[in-house]
Structure 1
């Protein structure tokens, strides 16, 4: 209930990129150019993470089994760290993993966002491509058409974000953000008076989902992300987002109409009843008629949307939004 009311008031929508605007099923493009030994080590490390990029790398694990690391730790928003025979391996964000990049390997291994390092020296760089989520561009256009500004916040590189932004028509995006950076961005917008909707899917998006005025996650999101979100849409299409907004605003409009109907009814009926002009039969008919009128007006929401249906399911204090064309 309260989530639907808050959704109706939003004026800015913030989207994560990987797994939200895209399907979150990236494909590793340059596997053939990576040293097979380094690729195998990266795949073994990636097996310890659920991040979409990790899943793409983990598919290249060696057939003879996983490498035995002394310890493996995932750092949300940064990557994976493993220790082996006194060496420290890191797989993830360039600025975190390749802390010695300026003293070796920068030119040889390019400027990709995801790298594998050994003791701070970059030994492999990974390039990915990911398909856009169905109707993402149409969803963003519909949000813009109803006066909602759209931004994209991502931990990915500026180049990758710019490419997706251009395809979807998103003019405002901020790349290379840590989870805390997304939260800071949303909190700054809130202090400026904006009502922000956050749409995100990953473990890294959980703090931002909690910080937003209202939040939505896809069904493919991590469990913690779905739990943090106010709504979950169950289909791949992002059109569920503007549809949920439309329904919440329409519901609010109908609620205000029903309140007005109730006020007018009581303003007319109560004086008549006080003056004794209403027989019990007339009073019963009038009461039933008012209830039918209010219910009938509310049922107009059921037919909302000529070419689509939207189902909102309340479950354990959360809402699930299911879209079907």
Structure 2
């Protein structure tokens, strides 16, 4: 990927590399955290290979992923990097035990803490990680708008937000990007969320574009997962769903062989072919996997190729366990601002 291969997200001027790097797995989630020195080397390699968009969150680690990215940034040209981080989730004990916060005071405190951990003067893209359904979205976005005016953040994003939430947020301050799960593995956002983003001119940042690693490793993915790897509980990787999805994997792999690329490159190319407003952030902790992901930019798909892929990719099972989906875009509506009592 050349340094100049960028995509424009939203109407406010944000540009990011065509493929970004999701950093979550470096600090947990997919098994134990990886050594800092190895991950810094990976981030630097990504930058020198043309990746400028690095995605993290205050909840990854928690906190340690932002610190890691901050260390890596010391060796890069800050003005050429787009740092994306998120706020709003506080994990409790056990899966799905999370508090979601979008109060104005919390927004400011979270931003100040992320700036300190990242050791930067500003955050390029600051996401509402999950929507706080207890308060109007206008309150949360109003606080973010003030941070933009103060120069602490440049652009505002939403993650796992539904159409109505996106519209209401965008009316307060232009939203530059919506982060969502989108891949051959997960396409339900195509019904309403993605059309809403395109109607409003908002960029789209797909996470898990490789099906949480299923497109990279295939059925072997389940053989060596650590006990604390959350993929062990993904419905699509269990029982009958897994057996069905293994067969789908093999059919897609046959097409990849015809295209003379890897299956993961084919799956990522499908996402990249969705439009100039789409900038996926596949995660990895290995340089060879990163290089392979960047190779997806050279994979060209015809309209017929896209249609064939979509007809094959009929996966079974929910994309996440129910206790996580409860905070998804389908449950993101907030109270109307008119009902909110202000002091």
TM-score bin (small chain): under 0.3
TM-score normalized by the length of structure 1:
0.27
TM-score (ref. length: structure 2) = 0.26
Higher relative contact order (CA 8 A, sep 6+): 2
The structure with the greater share of residues assigned to strand is 1
